[in-house]
Amino acid sequence: MVRTPPQILIADDNPENLDIFQTRLAVHGYEILTATDGEQALAIAREKQPDLILLDVMMPKMDGIEVCRRLKADPSFPFVPIIMITAKAGSQDVVAGLEAGADEYLTKPVDHTALVARVKSVLRIKALHDSVQEQAAQLEAQTVQLAEWNRTLEQRVQEQVAQLERLGRLKRFFSPQLAELIVAGGAEDPLKSHRREVTVAFLDLRGFTAFAETSEPEEVMGVLREYHAEMGKLILAYEGTLERFTGDGMMIFFNDPVPTPNPAERAIRMALAMRDRVAELIVKWRKRGYELDFGVGIAQGYATIGAIGFEGRWDYGAIGTVTNLAARLCGEAKPGQILIPQRLLGTVEALIEVEPVGELTLKGFQRPVTTYNVLRLKA
């Protein structure tokens, strides 16, 4: 770009002319460089790369036409407009100067008003040229960058497609939460067996066996689709992991594979939300003559968790006393009940209102289990 102020090289072997040009142009704020022969003009031009050159034709060591020719032929020299100034006014001399690459041609004696006007005009051309060159360079850089972005984008798309394909395969066997964790590499071998404290919830529909025995298969599937859809939304909303579902029964656990704060609270809130939602479904079902209800058992404790199954068909499961306890409590729950043991109540008693159910003798447990029914969240 043109400097501020513009820099002008004046080359003339006549000191008087040099002084006049320098004085006239300096008044307009230009920075002036001077040379008194062709070789000096060529050297200064290459070193300083001024914004404009006023070049006398007749100079010692090298004439102005040769200086002009060499500068214009030099590919490393940027575009700098050249105004040839000479006493020769013949058309042959004008053509020689223009063929050498000069951008303007003035004859002596120079009209200084015309000189200043020509200088301003040529500097505007220089500024426009530099602007176009700068824009071209930016465009070239953007083109290179865009090509690089396209390559990067194409690579990312390929990687994401591969991830989506892998995620789709994993979701056939695992919860979306676990599948995404495996694909993202956010878990250290989540399929490897490990031990962790979890909160487990078992839930199923009361009266479902009798309903299935007396109803058409299409009716049974319609009920299950409604039930699974609504329960699935709440499982995802509370970040539970669906271990399995068998018909009307489901097992959900919290705090694995993704650790979650307050897993017991999440399980309780999910179960209460499920009970409310199933109550709405029951109203619809009873209008169709279906006698169904809902029960839940929740327990907390340590379980061994990891991949269960065989090559080509893996599930992510939790094994331990805690899962058995939740399942047994679910089996004992009456319609609308959410049963929890004494140990779990100690974790969430500030959150919920309960009623005692008593000590239940559960299959697989040597001692009776003190049990409570969750009524509601505290105000």
Where does the pLDDT of residue 18 fall: very low under 50, low under 70, confident under 90, or very high at 90 and above? confident
Is 90 exceeded by the pLDDT of residue 379? no
Among 152-161, 210-219, 360-369, name the one with the lowest average pLDDT. 152-161
SS3 content of the chain, % helix, strand, coil (to 5): 50, 25, 25
Instruction: Tell me, yes or no, whether 100 and 216 share the same domain.
Output: no
Instruction: Tell me, yes or no, whether 213 and 359 share the same domain.
Output: yes
Contacts of 152 (CB under 8 A, 6+ apart): none
Instruction: Tell me, yes or no, whether 120 and 54 share the same domain.
Output: yes
> Would residue 159 count as lying in a domain?
no
Q: Quick one: pLDDT at residue 359?
A: 95
Instruction: Tell me, yes or no, whether 110 and 242 share the same domain.
Output: no
Tell me, what DSSP letter sits at residue 337?
-
Contact 222, 280 (CB under 8 A): no
Instruction: Tell me, yes or no, whether 276 and 201 share the same domain.
Output: yes
> Would residue 179 count as lying in a domain?
no
Range from 17-26, 185-194, 369-378 that averages highest in pLDDT: 369-378
Q: Quick one: pLDDT at residue 77?
A: 85
Tell me, what DSSP letter sits at residue 110?
P
Q: Quick one: pLDDT at residue 1?
A: 60
Contact 228, 242 (CB under 8 A): no
Distance of CA 215 to the CA centre of its chain: 51
Number of domains into which the chain is organized: 2
Where does the pLDDT of residue 351 fall: very low under 50, low under 70, confident under 90, or very high at 90 and above? very high
What span, in angstroms and rounded, lies between the C-alpha atoms of 212 and 336?
Answer: 20
Instruction: Tell me, yes or no, whether 255 and 329 share the same domain.
Output: yes
Contacts of 286 (CB under 8 A, 6+ apart): none
Among 122-131, 293-302, 364-373, name the one with the lowest average pLDDT. 122-131
Instruction: Tell me, yes or no, whether 211 and 338 share the same domain.
Output: yes
Q: Mean pLDDT, to the nearest integer, of 166-192? A: 62
Q: Mean pLDDT, to the nearest integer, of 321-328? A: 96
Q: Quick one: pLDDT at residue 121?
A: 84
Check residues 190 and 132 and name the one with the higher pLDDT: 132
Where does the pLDDT of residue 89 fall: very low under 50, low under 70, confident under 90, or very high at 90 and above? low
Q: Quick one: pLDDT at residue 171?
A: 61
From 324, 322, 318, select the one nearest 241 (Cα to Cα).
Answer: 318
Among 169-178, 199-208, 280-289, name the one with the lowest average pLDDT. 169-178
User: 3-class DSSP state for residue 207?
Assistant: coil
Instruction: Tell me, yes or no, whether 89 and 206 share the same domain.
Output: no
Regarding beta strands 194-206 and 249-254, do their DSSP bridges make them parallel or antiparallel, or are they unpaired?
antiparallel
Q: Mean pLDDT, to the nearest integer, of 28-38? A: 88
Among 24-28, 224-228, 369-373, name the one with the lowest average pLDDT. 24-28
pTM of the model: 0.56
Check residues 163 and 368 and name the one with the higher pLDDT: 368
> Would residue 46 count as lying in a domain?
yes
Which CATH number goes with the domain that contains 14? 3.40.50.2300
Regarding beta strands 31-35 and 7-11, do their DSSP bridges make them parallel or antiparallel, or are they unpaired?
parallel
Alpha-carbon distance values, 313 to 71, 175, 234, 244 (Å):
77, 14, 26, 13
What span, in angstroms and rounded, lies between the C-alpha atoms of 141 and 6?
Answer: 27
> Would residue 165 count as lying in a domain?
no
Which CATH number goes with the domain that contains 335? 3.30.70.1230
Q: Mean pLDDT, to the nearest integer, of 46-61? A: 88
> Would residue 204 count as lying in a domain?
yes
Q: Mean pLDDT, to the nearest integer, of 160-186? A: 65
Q: What percent of the chain has pLDDT over 70?
A: 91
Instruction: Tell me, yes or no, whether 130 and 206 share the same domain.
Output: no
Of the candidates 89, 111, 136, which is a domain's last residue? 136
What span, in angstroms and rounded, lies between the C-alpha atoms of 301 and 198?
Answer: 6
Query: Which domain covers residue 121, as residue numbers?
Result: 7-136
- Residue 300, strand partner residues: 199
What span, in angstroms and rounded, lies between the C-alpha atoms of 36 and 127?
Answer: 27
